[in-house]
Amino acid sequence: MLGKTYLTKQASLLLEFARTTSDSDLSAKLISKAADLKSQADPLPDKDQGPKAPDVADISPGDPTGR
């Protein structure tokens, strides 16, 4: 499953491309696709909830030893 951050970034890029093109049909299609991606991203949580890499430890900022 794709995360909210990824979908939002992709929608933003599509809107940027839509603004730079002089082809109105292409611009409309890019805007439509950006809206689709935004609607997919909206119900997702704000932070992507992917699994942590095995070498990542939960260390609090005040405890450099990780205990």
Residue 19's pLDDT is what?
Answer: 96
d(CA 28, CA 48): 29
pTM exceeds 0.75, yes or no: no
3-state SS, residue 12: helix
Task: Map tokens 């900022």 to a residue.
Answer: 61
Task: Report residue 22 as tokens.
Answer: 């002089």
Q: Nearest to residue 11, comparing CAs of 28, 46, 35? A: 35
Q: Each residue of 3-43: pLDDT tens digit?
A: 888 889 999 999 999 999 999 999 999 999 999 999 888 77
